[in-house]
């Protein structure tokens, strides 16, 4: 009887630890998503790319950021429409919307952008797996 109780207690502890880890990763994803999109909104594109873009994507993203600057894109707002954490793959799928205008026009447009995030265990950080959206 004592072995059964110890076994159940051990299983309970393991399940609690797994739930705590998943909750922690979900919160960490939310923080990274908000910080990245806030940087994009406030024209800190290079900083956003260097902080959150996957290393394979950095060069392309920095070039795209430079093009957006030259085009005169001004982002006025962003909204996170959905965030989904996939624990089996340590990934996150985010759908964000950006309101923007391109000078000399003052017409505000909206672009919806799907962001793919990956959790890197070795650096304990979330990295973006796709580039900035196309602002047209």
Q: Find, among 101, 90, 94, the residue nearest to 36 by Cα.
A: 94
Residue 53 CA to residue 39 CA, distance in Å, equals 12
Ranges of each domain in the chain: 25-128
**Predicted confidence band at 103 (pLDDT cuts at 50, 70, 90)?**
confident
Q: Which CATH number fits domain 25-128: 3.40.1030.10, 1.20.1300.10, 3.10.450.100, 3.30.420.130?
A: 3.10.450.100
Q: pLDDT tens for residues 60-97?
A: 999 999 999 999 999 999 999 999 999 999 999 999 99
């Amino acid at each position: 009887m004592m072995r059964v109780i110890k076994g159940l207690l051990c299983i309970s502890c393991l399940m609690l630890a797994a739930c705590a880890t998943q909750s922690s990763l979900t919160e960490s994803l939310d923080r990274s998503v908000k910080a990245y999109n806030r940087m994009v909104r406030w024209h800190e594109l290079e900083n956003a790319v260097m902080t959150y873009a996957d290393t394979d994507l950095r060069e392309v993203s920095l070039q795209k950021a430079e093009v957006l600057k030259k085009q005169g894109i001004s982002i006025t707002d962003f909204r996170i429409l959905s965030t989904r954490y996939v624990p089996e793959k340590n990934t996150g799928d985010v759908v964000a919307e950006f309101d923007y205008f391109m000078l000399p026009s003052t017409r505000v447009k909206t672009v919806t952008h799907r962001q793919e995030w990956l959790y890197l265990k070795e650096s304990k950080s979330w990295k973006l797996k796709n580039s900035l959206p196309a602002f047209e």
